[in-house]
Structure 1
Amino acid sequence: MNNNRTDFAYQMVYRYLSRLANELPEGPAVKLPSLRLLARRLRVSISTVQNAYSLLEKEGRICSVPKSGYYALPQPCNDIQCEGEDLLERYQASTRRADMFVFGADEPTLLQSLDGALLSLERELMRHYPCQSDPRFQPFGDVELRAALAAYYTSSAQHCWHPDNVFIGPDKIGVLKTVLKALQLRDCAVLVESPCSWTILRTLQSFGIRVIELCTDVEGVIDADELDGLLRHGDVKLAILSSRMDTVRGRMLGADQRMRLAQVLNRHGLWVLENDSQGELCFDEQFTPLRDLIDPQRLLIVGAFDKTIGLEAPFGYLLTRHSRALWHRQLLLRSFRLPRIRQKAIARLYSSGQLERHLHGLRQCLKQRVDHLALMIGDFLGEDVTFDPPQGGATIWVNSRHRVDMRRVFERLLEQRIVIAPGELFSVRGLHQQSLCLSGAADWSQNIESMLVIIRNALVQERLV
């Protein structure tokens, strides 16, 4: 199957199985392909197929029979509406439906991924390493991957990293939770840029953390004096900021702005967590990352591989030079047990230069796609919205020129089988209610022009007087 026209790897399998189950004749339960057969057919891992089957089983669409396999259950109706008042839950439930056109998902590797290369490397490595569990448990991640990341992040003698500074977790959120626990931030305040990833916002809220949102003005400028006053009186212990660009809007601060921002943060002695999950997707590769301007003893870098390699590389990672014993203790308590061979395969992508070549092509592909989408948005929505062309990533942040009820726009589009990401998802204070996020990594085999016409009509119909 073509990775350019899919969602997450397990969602690709999920959609395939959903269609397969829908096309089966009514009657008794019908047996579905085995995990091994489907993994071979779709060229994914067995665990990926297992995740898709588990999701369908939770939804009551299939059942597992011990020593027999999985069976599709008859469905009274395939047009089940997503229920509930929580906007994020409705958004996520809608993106999982096979009949929806997902126009708001921020998944750059849908255009070009290394999933195939990663799995090929894994199969090759399996011939050189024993299949049984390695008794030498590595709670901080495979040494080869930690060394590869340390080398990748080392940019000079002044900005160098070592394997002992690197820790691997199951995903970025798992690593973020480890950071919040280690720094004992429960009931404290954390500063985030706004708009901010909803996974980060929800994770902070789950720890009882007060979130302070930092917004730029209409020209994308941060008022350093205002920030200084906020930090002086706000009891903020940690700032979570992007590496090179705002990961939601794809915008970058100018060099002077970043320098003033770093000076204020350093002066107040804050912990600074650099979110580097999409730092390598900037179209301009020359921008200095935030980490080079921050006090190294107060710096944490959190990233993941899924936005650059693909969904077969779900792991997250942490880089820090501070108190190795603290992080050892936290990671030992959490006892992450991660597939060793998959980690080694990711390390080989780094050390061979294959990842660098892939990123060069991915950036070009993303720029072409978002530039094309920007032209179409201008043609079809130009009278109703404004937007700044992104400087990286896969999404375009769109602002309505008129006051609209964006929740009603979202609901109206769901009725048309279109899923957008309303701006409200990216704030805990109800900010960005006149904005929405569209993805250039959507399924381009669909009629994008007609989708934009439907969005324009929804924006017009939901205008507020």
Structure 2
Amino acid sequence: MAHERFLYESISQQLRNQIRSGTYRAGERLPSVRRLSQVFGVSINTVVQCFRQLEIDGIIDIRPRSGVFVASASAARHQPTTVTHFPSLPVEVSLSEDILHYMEPHMEEHLVHLGIALPAREIMPIERILRSLREVTRKHALQAWDYMHPHGHDAFTHQLARRSLNYPVPITQEDLIITNGCMEAIELALRTVTRRGDTVAVETPTYYGALVALEVMQRKALEIPTHYRDGMCLYTLEQAFKHGRVSACLVSCNAQNPLGFTMSAERKRKLVELATRYSVPLIENDIWGDTVYAGNALPAKAYDEAGMVIYCNSFSKSLMPGMRLGWVAPGRFHHRLRELKQISSITTASAPQLLMARLMESGFYAQHVQQLRRQLAVQTRETAAAVLEAFPAGTRIDTPTGGCVLWVGLPNRIDSRVLFDRALTNGIHIFPGNVFSAGPRHFNYLRLNAGTPINARLHQAINQLGEMARAF
């Protein structure tokens, strides 16, 4: 393994040097994978991994069915340059104190809220939701008052199952367990398939809440290099699976937070195939799936014939965070996960389930999601443009495919932790990039929430942030 790593890094460096020296110029096609494997005397897989690393670094452009080309200078400037490369060691997570420190200001109403990832209240149908809630609790008072079965209200789970009718492998009502938000679903999944001291493969960067869950449950994280467009490096992930380095894999395939990518259907199928082949449970966090701008992005769970995917989701991001209504489809791990649910929170509140059943069966939720996708697409585009205009030259933002966050790469190694402190003193809340990794990474990145429509106050705050960044 060490020899393979040496070859992989050595060849990547040789190709990088040849491109920088002008041996291969911008737009020029590189030799094929097969040709390079013959030149260097290595396997095709080693060359593929070299290309993947160079693509992550923005040095080459892989064009399906066309070949591999040297990236233009402008393209290279817009690629993340600090993605960590495998192999790395499993690490214990120690982020909870930092994350609590960075989250607390969100509760202060006077701040400009660019930190927590959430669509703004003004673009959500709050009055319609509350009116529907009053109606269902009045008409079904006893059901709203009483305990609900762990499997959930029949009308609600029926609607959830119907959402998967176009999946190659649909989710059945019997496989669903209703949870208190997506985080409870993820926590139950981790407790089901891992034990204290186990290692879980995660993206880097990844959602900080998932890292805190690993910390609290005393699991280790193995960070897998993650591409801004394609997601987890599947070659690297397979090496971890093959050598038994991880007990589970925690991943987001649609509108991932914070990078914003959506994996292709082909890569999702490959991901599930790997999990099945090596019997590694795949915990899928699809909380932003309904916000993918192009719509109808299937989750990896849709291709899960063997039941190896534990699918986790909720309506916290797409409709109402205070409702705390989520669900999990555990596949072959259903029995154990249900046991853990019953000894933790027993069941999930009845009223939110009655409400969502009503909103879904009436067609209102589907209509709302269509509008939300269009709105968030506009907001992320306009916020990104404002940031690039205000921030120093060299600032990088990759266009998200869904959700409402921007992963902003800062030039000149600007430390986003220092920027957080300065922004907060000026009434602006942001989230520094270091908490999206279990290791010492992403300090020169920050995540900005684009959930609020651009207005004068928000524009002024972005300009202030840009001035602070320029001051470095």
Same fold (TM over 0.5): yes
Deviations along 1:334-375, whole A, 9 cap, x unmatched? 243433232111111111111110000000111111111122
After TM superposition, the score normalised by the length of structure 1 is 0.75
Could you tell me whether the CA contact under 8 Å between 2:193 and 2:247 is conserved in 1? no
Query: Unpaired runs of 5+ in structure 1?
Result: 1-83
**Counterpart position of 1:385:** 395
Could you tell me whether the CA contact under 8 Å between 1:188 and 1:235 is conserved in 2? no
Distance verdict in 2 for CA 1:135–1:407, change over 3 Å: closer
Distance verdict in 2 for CA 1:421–1:289, change over 3 Å: same
Could you tell me whether the CA contact under 8 Å between 2:251 and 2:285 is conserved in 1? yes
Higher mean C-alpha displacement, 318-327 vs 168-177: 318-327
Partner SS, residue 300 of structure 1: strand
Matched, 1:277 2:287: yes
Partner SS, residue 466 of structure 2: helix
Q: In the aligned structure 2, how far is the partner of 1:386 from the partner of 1:375?
A: 11
Matched, 1:143 2:154: yes
Partner SS, residue 236 of structure 1: coil
Distance verdict in 2 for CA 1:287–1:341, change over 3 Å: closer
What letter corresponds to residue 92 of structure 1 in structure 2? M
Distance verdict in 2 for CA 1:347–1:116, change over 3 Å: same
Deviations along 1:381-427, whole A, 9 cap, x unmatched? 26141111211111111101211122111111111111111111211
Matched, 1:116 2:127: yes
**Counterpart position of 1:128:** 139
What letter corresponds to residue 267 of structure 1 in structure 2? R
Q: In the aligned structure 1, how far is the partner of 2:228 from the partner of 2:186?
A: 30
% identical equivalent positions: 19
Partner SS, residue 185 of structure 1: coil
**Counterpart position of 1:203:** 213
Distance verdict in 2 for CA 1:287–1:406, change over 3 Å: same
Picking from 280, 298, 302, the partner of 2:308 is 298
Q: In the aligned structure 2, how far is the partner of 1:118 from the partner of 1:85?
A: 33
Picking from 435, 438, 462, the partner of 1:452 is 462
Q: In the aligned structure 1, how far is the partner of 2:408 from the partner of 2:151?
A: 40
Q: Which runs of structure 2 are paired with 1:347-366 in the superposition (5 Å)? A: 347-366=357-376
Distance verdict in 2 for CA 1:240–1:378, change over 3 Å: same
**Counterpart position of 1:417:** 427
What letter corresponds to residue 261 of structure 2 in structure 1? R
Distance verdict in 2 for CA 1:240–1:134, change over 3 Å: same
Could you tell me whether the CA contact under 8 Å between 1:115 and 1:313 is conserved in 2? no
Q: In the aligned structure 1, how far is the partner of 2:261 from the partner of 2:175?
A: 29
Partner SS, residue 247 of structure 1: coil
Partner SS, residue 247 of structure 2: strand
What letter corresponds to residue 240 of structure 2 in structure 1? L
Distance verdict in 2 for CA 1:221–1:341, change over 3 Å: closer
Could you tell me whether the CA contact under 8 Å between 1:170 and 1:336 is conserved in 2? no
Q: In the aligned structure 2, how far is the partner of 1:275 from the partner of 1:85?
A: 20
Which structure carries more helix by proportion?
Answer: 2
Matched, 1:398 2:401: no
Q: In the aligned structure 2, how far is the partner of 1:85 from the partner of 1:144?
A: 38
Picking from 181, 191, 207, the partner of 1:171 is 181
Distance verdict in 2 for CA 1:261–1:433, change over 3 Å: same
Matched, 1:316 2:326: yes
Q: In the aligned structure 2, how far is the partner of 1:265 from the partner of 1:302?
A: 16
Q: In the aligned structure 2, how far is the partner of 1:129 from the partner of 1:342?
A: 12
Deviations along 1:42-61, whole A, 9 cap, x unmatched? xxxxxxxxxxxxxxxxxxxx
> How far does residue 297 in structure 1 lie from its aligned partner after superposition?
1.6
What letter corresponds to residue 113 of structure 1 in structure 2? M
After TM superposition, the score normalised by the length of structure 2 is 0.74
Higher mean C-alpha displacement, 416-425 vs 123-132: 123-132
Could you tell me whether the CA contact under 8 Å between 1:142 and 1:343 is conserved in 2? yes
Matched, 1:214 2:224: yes
Q: In the aligned structure 2, how far is the partner of 1:335 from the partner of 1:408?
A: 39
Could you tell me whether the CA contact under 8 Å between 2:380 and 2:450 is conserved in 1? yes
Could you tell me whether the CA contact under 8 Å between 2:111 and 2:428 is conserved in 1? yes
**Counterpart position of 2:254:** 244
Matched, 1:430 2:443: no
Picking from 181, 198, 216, the partner of 2:191 is 181
Matched, 1:340 2:350: yes
Matched, 1:161 2:171: yes
Partner SS, residue 376 of structure 2: helix
Q: In the aligned structure 2, how far is the partner of 1:255 from the partner of 1:324?
A: 25
Higher mean C-alpha displacement, 414-423 vs 227-236: 227-236
**Counterpart position of 1:327:** 337
Distance verdict in 2 for CA 1:132–1:218, change over 3 Å: closer
> How far does residue 175 in structure 1 lie from its aligned partner after superposition?
2.1
What letter corresponds to residue 376 of structure 2 in structure 1? L
Matched, 1:96 2:85: no
> How far does residue 323 in structure 1 lie from its aligned partner after superposition?
4.9
**Counterpart position of 1:73:** none
Q: In the aligned structure 1, how far is the partner of 2:218 from the partner of 2:155?
A: 36
Higher mean C-alpha displacement, 264-273 vs 285-294: 285-294
> How far does residue 286 in structure 1 lie from its aligned partner after superposition?
4.6
Distance verdict in 2 for CA 1:372–1:183, change over 3 Å: same
Could you tell me whether the CA contact under 8 Å between 2:254 and 2:402 is conserved in 1? no
Could you tell me whether the CA contact under 8 Å between 2:206 and 2:258 is conserved in 1? yes
Distance verdict in 2 for CA 1:254–1:139, change over 3 Å: closer
Query: Unpaired runs of 5+ in structure 2?
Result: 1-94
Distance verdict in 2 for CA 1:146–1:402, change over 3 Å: same
Distance verdict in 2 for CA 1:94–1:289, change over 3 Å: same
Deviations along 1:3-55, whole A, 9 cap, x unmatched? xxxxxxxxxxxxxxxxxxxxxxxxxxxxxxxxxxxxxxxxxxxxxxxxxxxxx
Q: In the aligned structure 2, how far is the partner of 1:218 from the partner of 1:251?
A: 6
Alignment coverage as a number of residue pairs: 378
What letter corresponds to residue 94 of structure 1 in structure 2? P
> How far does residue 247 in structure 1 lie from its aligned partner after superposition?
2.6
Supply the RMSD in Å over aligned alpha carbons: 2.5
Distance verdict in 2 for CA 1:312–1:222, change over 3 Å: closer
What letter corresponds to residue 397 of structure 2 in structure 1? F
Could you tell me whether the CA contact under 8 Å between 1:110 and 1:441 is conserved in 2? no
Distance verdict in 2 for CA 1:201–1:444, change over 3 Å: same
